[in-house]
Amino acid sequence: MTGFDSFIGIDYSGAKTADARLPGLQVYRAQAGGLCAKLTPPSTRNARATNWTRGEIAGWLRDEARSGRRFIAGLDHCFSAPQSWFVRYGLTSWPAFLDDFALHWPTHRDDVSVEALRDESQQQRTGAANELRLCERWTSSAKSMFLFDVQGSVAKSSHAGIPWLKWLRDEAGDALHFWPFDGWVPGAGQSVIVECYPSLYRRRYPREQRSIDEQDACTVARWMAEMADRGVLHEYFAPPLCAAERRVADLEGWIFGVR
């Protein structure tokens, strides 16, 4: 759980479609010592700075994982649903959840948006705004993935991002470890994808001239790099859960940094 070459923070957005360039999609990379830099899409680095698309972020993470450069990347959207969702739809594992969710919310397609699917009267795969995961109940302000249209909502970004997790998992194979679903301890040499909540550590770092979205991405990357420098990053892979809580988190996932 040590020896990462870089620490990546990604501020996510569920607006529009997967091929739309969005200012709410921001990627920052930090390295040992706390240096943190904004990244732009590889296809635009020789041109004027351009925003990312969700598809480009997924493809870039896949390519980084295949390159052999070991990283840990934090994305700020839910990776899974509350246990009640699993019960309601008869799902027993996270891979089964990913398959089912991507089937009913195919937001990884260029012609599909979260808003369009919400408007469809036939969309039945949904939940209540008060359904929370265990990790969300362990915080003071984390919101349900089903709570739309409020300040600080992660609903749209989660519904847009989860199908890309399935795509990335299928594409990258064993090069990527999706924590904690693939195990609470990543394998040696694997890059790791974790769910983050920038509000946990946003106030630690001055905003300077960054936008809010840039600050959130930078904060995630910088915090993980700082915890690695202090020799304590590994502690966050093992939140103090009892056996029953860990069984729930095996399905629901966990927010990296919540202890």
- In the chain, domain spans: 6-252
pLDDT above 90 covers a percentage of the chain that reads 85
pLDDT bracket for residue 2 (50, 70, 90): low
Task: Give pLDDT tens digits for 200-237.
Answer: 998 999 999 999 999 999 999 999 999 999 999 999 99
- In whole angstroms, give the CA distance from residue 238 to residue 259: 8
Task: Give pLDDT tens digits for 232-256.
Answer: 999 999 999 999 999 999 999 999 9
How much is the pTM? 0.95
- pLDDT recorded at residue 68: 86
Q: Which helix (H) or strand (E) holds 10?
A: strand 6-11
Backbone angles phi, psi at 198, to 5 degrees: -55, -25
In this predicted structure, the answer to whether residue 175 has a pLDDT above a threshold of 80 is yes
Task: Give pLDDT tens digits for 64-84.
Answer: 999 989 999 999 999 999 999
Positive or negative, the Cα torsion across 80, 228, 35, 174?
A: negative
- pLDDT recorded at residue 46: 62
SS3 97: helix
In this predicted structure, the answer to whether residue 57 has a pLDDT above a threshold of 90 is yes
> What angle is formed at CA 186 by the lines to CA 254 and CA 156, rounded to 5 degrees?
35
In this predicted structure, the answer to whether residue 61 has a pLDDT above a threshold of 60 is yes
> What angle is formed at CA 198 by the lines to CA 192 and CA 199, rounded to 5 degrees?
150
Burial 209-229 (b: 16+ CB within 10 A, else e): ebeebbbbbbbbbbbbbbbbe
Scanning the structure block, which residue is given the tokens 């990627």?
Answer: 27
In this predicted structure, the answer to whether residue 15 has a pLDDT above a threshold of 60 is yes
In this predicted structure, the answer to whether residue 197 has a pLDDT above a threshold of 60 is yes
CB count, 10 Å around CB of 167?
A: 17
CB count, 10 Å around CB of 23?
A: 13
Structure tokens that stand for 116 in this block: 């369009």
In this predicted structure, the answer to whether residue 48 has a pLDDT above a threshold of 70 is no
In this predicted structure, the answer to whether residue 121 has a pLDDT above a threshold of 60 is no
